[in-house]
């Protein structure tokens, strides 16, 4: 039996340590992993736990990220709790198998310390890898700080392993800005943490030798569509309520509340930014300052990126007059993903806010409070004019002349 | 616990023993893949956890809503059958440690099947990783020297002079220009405890090796010659005789390498057949039997002789 | 909000120092943040690390900072790094050097008229820990200059933070912290 660790009520952990501790507490059976900055410490910490008897599952250090997810798929199909971690180029190398994992309905947990995708090679945080995963059929949860990383891991296991869901889930955090930033994290004891997720309940497990199963079949136009439709059904119809239920249960246990869509000062907001990751919190701080000046500003953070919380978001945005969608990934050839998603979310509603797009923070470029104040100034002007006063898409924090499109 | 070695007296008994791989599959009539798989599975009564890489075997045996497999089986992609089964093996170990196995007194064998494309080319890194880490598994390469599933493109197992769709013979080309990769040597160089080359036509030799492999702890590599009626271009009823030509011409010598150091030749043909006869029996080499390219047949013979010579020297020297 | 910027070379332990400080501060009920700027820099490259301390939950994740304290743990960095960037009128500098404060200010005019303290953390760590790891002594100096915590409380908590290290090393670190506390001027 693995030894327990006595945690203090508040530990000062960076996002990576928060993820490692959560993986330890839920007692993952198999971790197959490959290192890449900035997620490497997650598996290093985990290896340390193993080397010191704090976990007693199998830790398989494979030869690539593709193999890491391949091993996770084999292990998960065999029937047990499985997790790994990656970033950036490693995530990109994994993409083929991400689709396999979700299509095979295997509840694997992938911690992603979000990082830019080269070229040019860059180890710092942006959301390119997170966006790359958005059609892969995984549940994608987004953490804004180390506390969220810790909490969302438990929630991810609970939802993914639910027999009605059986879908893999990613827990995203911002590379460096969260993964390497130490903050206070309220902990659960090993017993309480494990108890929230509970014992792994196998289903269609290959290791049930009396009931052989075939995983990863061939289908063509005769059945493929039905499989994918059922997968989407599980993601849209089953997963969303299960995530909400897990959020409720988690709040009951810890007092910490999570929502599909996080809001700050949105009750009467006239202008708002919508963003993801650590930027959500920086924007909250800016909004507090603007509110003190009498400006009715608010922040919307996407907590559950996939499945997309369309109805909940439409509800939150219904009275807003100007919205800035902030994307930390270059859309290359179009408007940003959040712009598109927000536009699609609101299109058939009565809300007709002015919607503009900001691309920021690529390759870890700082998003400062001053940048955010500038964006809110734009939004205020858009609201007053009732139409965009700026180009639809602007690059924020870029050196040299201003860059904008559309 | 020790698994008991299955006793097999004759071919009839062998071919009708436990059917964990159904004849109901979509492989071509005469496909050697199915014969090899059956021989591997029939060599043991132990429980099996299987994997396959994308390729003929996979697309023809697990077409939803059917399955030809009466043992747990997994397919992920073209390159990662080895790692799929390694992941399952890791889970077995974890659950064993934690006392969560449903049938704790049964120890399954873990076997991955892959084509030569999946083995020599795209999946090479994954296999190398599995062998280096030492998973307790058997990897069986169904070596038909071509990407058969996608219609006959070359692989790094395709031999010189073979006409494949991406290395076709033509007015100015004799087909494939590069010699087959020596996968046996590469896998032995991993220090694998057991590496062997087998032919489905020499079933006793094959069963002995598979059983030896199953009795071995750690990663085992089996390279099985798999004559492909469609891409090698011979008639479906000739599969076994083509396999015999392969072994008896010494194009596919049967041998094993233990711990990367001890090489044993396990089959010495009584009558060694000229390589010419092996090549001549297959449409993929037809163009070699022309004035322009005939010199290649002599080169083939020289190469095969040299390799056989080298194997014998290694065997004698115990290296 | 109290904000601290560390200037060091990769490998000198600024990140560990910042995280250790955050850990100790956190035990007093305050909210903390410790982070660093990373590139693909290898050992010896100039780098910066940061602390934020507040009574409220810290939501600001911008890397931009106008620091209250600047801690320089490598002596040469006062001549090559932009260590006064975004300074405030009352920013306090604690600098590792073998020079006296007057000599240092004379050698680096940027420091003229600033609140400058000096301490030789390199020498202290070499003489106590046996290696040039100036991060823990710098924390001792910071305790003295800022009056943040009583020395006993701070050391007791640092022992907990360092608990994975061999006892000998922990003891040496405590001596280093105390010496820097006593020697900073
Ligand atoms: C990543 C990837 N690349 C290419 C393919 C297309 N593909 C599927 S099977 C195959 C060839 C299989 O050849 P081999 O492994 O020799 O097996 P065989 O069909 O000959 O038994 C190819 C190229 C694929 N499925 N996945
Ligand atoms: S193409 Fe060849 S390998 Fe594929 S099923 Fe047919 S005979 Fe077998
Ligand atoms: Mg092939």
8 Å CB contact between A261 and A303: yes
Interface contact C59-A38, CB threshold 8 A:
no
Residue B101 CB contacts under 8 Å (≥ 6 apart), including other chains:
A207, B92, B95
Residue A376 CB contacts under 8 Å (≥ 6 apart), including other chains:
A271, A273, A286, A287, A290, A295, A297, A324
Phi and psi at A63, nearest 5°, equal -105, 5
As a whole number of Å, the CA-based R_g of chain B is: 19
Task: Mark whether A and B touch (3+ CB pairs within 8 Å).
Answer: yes
Interface contact B102-A208, CB threshold 8 A:
yes
8 Å CB contact between A25 and A117: no
Q: Read off the pLDDT band of B1 (50, 70, 90).
A: very low
Using a 6 Å CB cutoff, which residues line ligand 2? B 27-28, 31, 33, 56, 60, 144, 148, 228-231
Q: Which of B95, B113, B94, B118 is nearest to B25 (CA)?
A: B113
Q: Which of A264, A305, A297 is nearest to A281 (CA)?
A: A264
Vertex A36 angle, CA A31 and A39, to 5°: 65
Return the pLDDT at B19: 81
B150 burial (CB, 10 Å; 0-12 / 13-18 / 19+) is middle
- Partners of residue B140 on adjacent β-strands: B113, B222
Token readout for A173 is 């955090």
Q: Are strands A58-61 and A30-33 parallel, antiparallel or unpaired?
A: parallel
- Which element (helix H / strand E) includes B187? helix B183-189
3-state secondary structure B3-65: CCCCCCCCHHHHHHCCCCECCCCCCCCCCHHHHHHHHHHHCCCCCEEEEECCCHHHHHHCECC
Taking only the tens place, the pLDDT of each residue in C65-106 is: 999 999 999 999 999 999 999 999 999 999 999 999 999 999
CA pair distance B162, C147, nearest whole angstrom: 82
Identify from A183, A285, A373 which residue to disrupt to test chain C contact, counting C C-beta atoms within 10 A and taking the largest count. Answer: A183
Please give, rounded to a whole number of angstroms, the shortest distance from the CA of A9 to a CA of chain C: 10
B29 burial (CB, 10 Å; 0-12 / 13-18 / 19+) is exposed
CB of B106 less than 8 A from some CB of A:
yes
CA pair distance C30, C47, nearest whole angstrom: 26
- Whether residue A148 is predicted with pLDDT greater than 50 in this model: the reply is yes
Taking only the tens place, the pLDDT of each residue in A167-181 is: 999 999 999 999 999
- Residue nearest (by alpha carbon) to ligand 1 atom 17: B115
- Which element (helix H / strand E) includes C116? strand C115-119
Answer yes or no: is the C-beta of B150 below 6 A from any ligand 1 atom: yes
What domain range is C24 assigned to?
A: 2-183
Mean pLDDT of B103-114: 98
Q: Are strands B173-174 and A10-13 parallel, antiparallel or unpaired?
A: unpaired
Interface contact C33-A177, CB threshold 8 A:
no
Q: How remote is the CA of residue B167 from the centroid of ligand 1, in Å?
A: 16
Q: Which of A124, A106, A103, A107 is nearest to A115 (CA)?
A: A124
CA pair distance A60, A46, nearest whole angstrom: 11
Return the pLDDT at A189: 98
Structural domains in chain A plus CATH codes: 10-254 (3.40.50.970), 261-405 (3.40.50.920)
Phi and psi at A52, nearest 5°, equal -115, 15
Judged by DSSP in three states, C48 sits in: strand
Identify from A57, A216, A221 which residue to disrupt to test chain B contact, counting B C-beta atoms within 10 A and taking the largest count. Answer: A216
DSSP assignment string, B237-266 = GGHHHHHHHHHHTTSS--EEEETTTEEEE-
Interface contact C38-A124, CB threshold 8 A:
yes
Residue B27 Cα: closest atom of ligand 2: 5
Q: Are strands A322-327 and A354-360 parallel, antiparallel or unpaired?
A: parallel
Please give, rounded to a whole number of angstroms, the shortest distance from the CA of C160 to a CA of chain A: 11
Q: Read off the pLDDT band of B182 (50, 70, 90).
A: very high
CB of A93 less than 8 A from some CB of B:
no
CB of C64 less than 8 A from some CB of A:
yes
Return the pLDDT at A32: 98
Tell me how far apart the 2 most distant CA atoms of chain C are, in Å. Answer: 43
CA pair distance B197, B83, nearest whole angstrom: 22
Question: Taking CA atoms, what residue in A is nearest to C63?
Answer: A366
DSSP assignment string, B96-111 = HHHT--SSTT---EEE
Answer yes or no: is the C-beta of B144 below 6 A from any ligand 1 atom: yes
Token readout for B150 is 């996608």
8 Å CB contact between C63 and C52: no
Chain C residue numbers with beta carbons less than 8 Å from the beta carbon of A278 are 61
Answer yes or no: is the C-beta of B117 below 6 A from any ligand 1 atom: yes
**Range of lowest pLDDT (A38-47, B3-12, B222-231, C176-185):** B3-12
Chain A residue numbers with beta carbons less than 8 Å from the beta carbon of C19 are 12, 14, 182
- Partners of residue B63 on adjacent β-strands: A218
> Which residue's structure tokens are 């996939």?
A306
CB of C31 less than 8 A from some CB of A:
yes
Enumerate residues 216 to 235 of chain A having a beta carbon within 8 A of any beta carbon in chain B.
Answer: 216-219, 223, 227
pLDDT cut 90: percent of chain C above it:
89
Judged by DSSP in three states, A29 sits in: coil
Judged by DSSP in three states, A338 sits in: helix
Question: Taking CA atoms, what residue in C is nearest to A48?
Answer: C164
CA pair distance A182, C26, nearest whole angstrom: 11
Q: Give how far the C-alpha of residue C130 lies from the chain's centroid of Cα atoms, to the nearest Å.
A: 19
Could you tell me how many helices (H) and strands (E) chain B has, helices first?
Answer: 11, 10
Mean pLDDT of B174-202: 97
- Residue nearest (by alpha carbon) to ligand 1 atom 1: B78
Return the pLDDT at B13: 75
- Average pLDDT of every residue of chain B: 95
CB of A207 less than 8 A from some CB of B:
yes
Q: What is the CATH number of the domain that holds C72?
A: 3.40.920.10
Phi and psi at B203, nearest 5°, equal -70, -30
Token readout for B318 is 């115990």
Distances (CA, A) of C155 to A57, A176, B177, C150, C172: 37, 29, 72, 9, 12
Chain C residue numbers with beta carbons less than 8 Å from the beta carbon of A279 are 61
CB of C61 less than 8 A from some CB of A:
yes
Residue A180 CB contacts under 8 Å (≥ 6 apart), including other chains:
A14, A15, A16, A38, A41, C15, C35, C36, C38
Residue B229 Cα: closest atom of ligand 2: 7
Distances (CA, A) of C64 to A387, B182, C4: 32, 58, 12
Interface contact C61-A124, CB threshold 8 A:
no
> Which residue's structure tokens are 């000739």?
B238
Distances (CA, A) of B70 to A325, B136, C176: 53, 21, 68
Q: How remote is the CA of residue B116 from the centroid of ligand 1, in Å?
A: 9
- Whether residue B16 is predicted with pLDDT greater than 70 in this model: the reply is no
Return the pLDDT at B18: 63
Q: Which of B314, B300, B216 is nearest to B265 (CA)?
A: B314
CB of B91 less than 8 A from some CB of A:
yes
The answer, as to whether pTM is greater than 0.90, is: yes
CB of A281 less than 8 A from some CB of C:
yes
- Partners of residue B28 on adjacent β-strands: none
Chain B residue numbers with beta carbons less than 8 Å from the beta carbon of A214 are 62, 67, 69, 72-74
Mean pLDDT of B102-120: 98
Domain tally, chain C: 1
Interface contact B87-A60, CB threshold 8 A:
yes
CA pair distance A84, A76, nearest whole angstrom: 12
8 Å CB contact between A261 and A348: no
Return the pLDDT at A287: 98
Mean pLDDT of A243-271: 98
- Residue nearest (by alpha carbon) to ligand 2 atom 6: B28
Chain A residue numbers with beta carbons less than 8 Å from the beta carbon of C61 are 144-145, 174, 177-178, 181, 278-279, 281-282, 367
Vertex A38 angle, CA A34 and A41, to 5°: 65
Mean pLDDT of B294-318: 96
- Residue nearest (by alpha carbon) to ligand 2 atom 8: B31
Looking from the CA of A179 toward its CB, the CA atoms found within 13 Å total: 31
Judged by DSSP in three states, B109 sits in: strand
Residue B114 Cα: closest atom of ligand 1: 15
CA pair distance C15, C51, nearest whole angstrom: 10
Tell me which of C45 and A213 has the higher pLDDT: A213
Domain at B11-317, CATH from 3.40.50.720, 3.40.50.970, 3.40.50.150, 3.30.420.40: 3.40.50.970
Q: Is A247 left (phi over 0), alpha (psi -120 to 50) or beta?
A: alpha
Phi and psi at A332, nearest 5°, equal 40, 85
Return the pLDDT at B167: 94
CA B233, B235, B239, B243 torsion-angle sign: negative
Q: Which of A114, A89, A107 is nearest to A178 (CA)?
A: A114
CA pair distance A322, A53, nearest whole angstrom: 54
* Nearest ligand, CA B61: 2
Q: Which of B76, B143, B212 is nearest to A98 (CA)?
A: B76
Chain C residue numbers with beta carbons less than 8 Å from the beta carbon of A369 are 60, 62, 64
Taking only the tens place, the pLDDT of each residue in B41-97 is: 999 999 999 999 999 999 999 999 999 999 999 999 999 999 999 999 999 999 999
Interface contact A285-C22, CB threshold 8 A:
no
Ligand 1 test: best mutation among B35, B149, B228, most atoms within 8 Å of CB? Answer: B149
Ligand 1 test: best mutation among B27, B150, B231, most atoms within 8 Å of CB? Answer: B150
Answer yes or no: is the C-beta of B175 below 6 A from any ligand 1 atom: no
Q: Where do the domains of chain B lie?
A: 11-317
8 Å CB contact between A287 and C60: no
Torsion of CA A230, A236, A239, A240, to 10 degrees: -170
């Amino acid at each position: 039996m693995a030894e327990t660790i006595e945690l203090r009520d508040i530990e000062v952990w960076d996002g990576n340590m928060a993820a490692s501790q959560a993986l330890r507490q839920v007692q993952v059976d198999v971790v197959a992993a490959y290192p890449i900055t900035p997620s490497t410490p997650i598996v290093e910490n985990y290896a340390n736990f193993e080397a010191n008897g704090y976990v007693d599952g199998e830790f398989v250090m494979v030869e690539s990220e593709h193999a890491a997810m391949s091993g996770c798929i084999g292990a998960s199909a065999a029937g047990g709790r499985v997790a790994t971690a990656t970033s950036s180029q490693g995530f990109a190398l994994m993409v083929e198998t991400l689709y396999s994992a979700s299509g095979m309905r295997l509840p694997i947990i992938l911690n992603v310390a979000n990082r830019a995708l080269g070229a040019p090679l860059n180890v710092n945080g942006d959301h390119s890898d997170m966006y790359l995963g958005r059609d892969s059929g995984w549940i994608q949860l987004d953490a804004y700080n180390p506390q969220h990383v810790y909490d969302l891991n438990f929630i991810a296991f609970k939802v993914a392993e639910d027999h009605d869901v059986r879908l893999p889930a990613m827990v995203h955090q911002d590379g460096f800005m969260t993964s390497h930033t130490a903050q206070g994290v309220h902990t659960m004891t090993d017993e309480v943490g494990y108890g929230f997720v509970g014992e792994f309940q196998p289903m269609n497990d290959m290791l049930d030798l009396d009931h052989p199963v075939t995983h990863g079949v061939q289908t063509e136009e005769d059945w493929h569509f039905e499989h994918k439709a059922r997968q989407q059904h599980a993601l849209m119809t089953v997963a969303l309520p299960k995530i909400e239920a897990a959020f409720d249960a988690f709040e009951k246990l810890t007092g910490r509340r999570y929502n599909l869509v996080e809001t700050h000062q949105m009750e009467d907001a006239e202008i708002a930014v919508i963003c993801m990751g650590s930027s959500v919190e920086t924007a909250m701080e800016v909004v507090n300052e603007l509110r003190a000046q009498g400006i009715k500003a608010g922040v919307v953070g996407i907590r559950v990126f996939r499945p997309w919380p369309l109805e909940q978001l439409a509800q939150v945005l219904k009275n807003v007059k100007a919205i800035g969608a902030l994307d930390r990934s270059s859309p290359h050839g179009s408007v940003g993903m959040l712009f598109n998603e927000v536009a699609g979310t609101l299109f058939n509603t009565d809300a007709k806010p002015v919607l503009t797009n900001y691309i920021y923070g690529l390759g870890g470029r700082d998003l400062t409070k001053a940048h955010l104040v500038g964006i809110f100034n734009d939004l205020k002007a858009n609201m007053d004019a009732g139409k965009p006063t700026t180009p639809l898409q602007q690059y924020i924090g870029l050196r040299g002349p201003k860059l904008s499109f559309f | 616990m020790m698994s008991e070695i299955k006793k097999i007296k004759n071919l009839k008994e062998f071919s009708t023993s436990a059917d964990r791989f159904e004849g109901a599959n979509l492989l071509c009539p005469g496909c050697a893949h199915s014969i090899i798989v059956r021989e591997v599975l029939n060599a043991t009564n132990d429980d099996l956890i299987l994997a396959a890489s994308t390729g003929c075997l996979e697309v023809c045996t697990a077409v939803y809503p059917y399955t030809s497999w009466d043992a747990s089986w997994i397919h992920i992609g073209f390159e990662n059958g080895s790692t799929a089964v390694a992941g399952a093996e890791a889970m077995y170990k974890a659950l064993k440690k934690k006392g969560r196995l449903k049938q704790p007194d049964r120890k399954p064998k873990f076997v991955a099947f892959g084509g030569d494309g999946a083995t020599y080319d795209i999946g090479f890194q994954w296999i190398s990783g599995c062998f280096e880490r030492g998973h307790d598994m058997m990897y069986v390469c169904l070596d038909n020297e071509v990407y058969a599933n996608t219609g006959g493109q070359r692989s790094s197992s395709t031999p010189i002079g073979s006409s494949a769709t991406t290395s076709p013979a033509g007015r100015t080309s004799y087909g494939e220009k590069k010699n087959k990769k020596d996968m046996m040597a590469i896998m032995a160089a991993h220090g694998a405890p057991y590496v062997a080359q087998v032919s489905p036509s020499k079933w006793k030799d094959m069963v002995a090796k598979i059983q030896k492999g199953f009795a071995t702890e750690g990663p085992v590599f089996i390279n099985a010659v798999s004559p492909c009626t469609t891409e090698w271009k011979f008639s479906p009823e000739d599969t076994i005789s083509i396999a015999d030509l392969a072994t008896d011409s010494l194009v596919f010598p049967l041998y094993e390498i233990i711990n990367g150091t001890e090489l044993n030749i396990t089959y010495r043909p009584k009558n060694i057949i000229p390589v010419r006869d092996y090549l001549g029996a297959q449409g993929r080499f037809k163009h070699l039997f022309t004035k322009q390219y005939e010199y290649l047949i002599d080169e083939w013979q020289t190469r095969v002789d040299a390799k056989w010579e080298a194997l014998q020297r290694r065997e004698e020297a115990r290296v | 909000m109290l904000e601290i910027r560390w200037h060091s070379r990769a490998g000198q332990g600024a990140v560990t120092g910042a995280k250790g400080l955050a850990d100790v501060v956190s035990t007093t009920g305050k909210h903390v943040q410790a982070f660093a700027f990373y590139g693909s820099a290898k050992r010896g490259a100039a780098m910066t690390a940061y602390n934020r301390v507040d009574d409220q939950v810290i939501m600001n994740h911008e890397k931009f900072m106008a620091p209250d304290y600047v801690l320089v743990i490598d002596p040469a960095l006062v001549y090559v790094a932009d260590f006064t960037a975004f300074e405030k009128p009352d920013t306090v500098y604690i600098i590792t050097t073998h020079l006296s404060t007057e000599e240092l200010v004379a050698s680096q005019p940027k420091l003229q008229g600033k609140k400058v303290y000096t301490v030789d953390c390199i020498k202290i760590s070499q003489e106590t820990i046996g290696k040039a790891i100036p991060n823990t002594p710098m924390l001792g100096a910071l305790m003295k200059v800022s009056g943040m915590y009583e020395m006993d409380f701070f050391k007791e908590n640092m022992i907990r933070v360092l608990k994975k290290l061999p006892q000998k090393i922990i003891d040496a670190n405590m001596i280093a912290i105390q010496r820097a506390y006593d020697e900073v001027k």
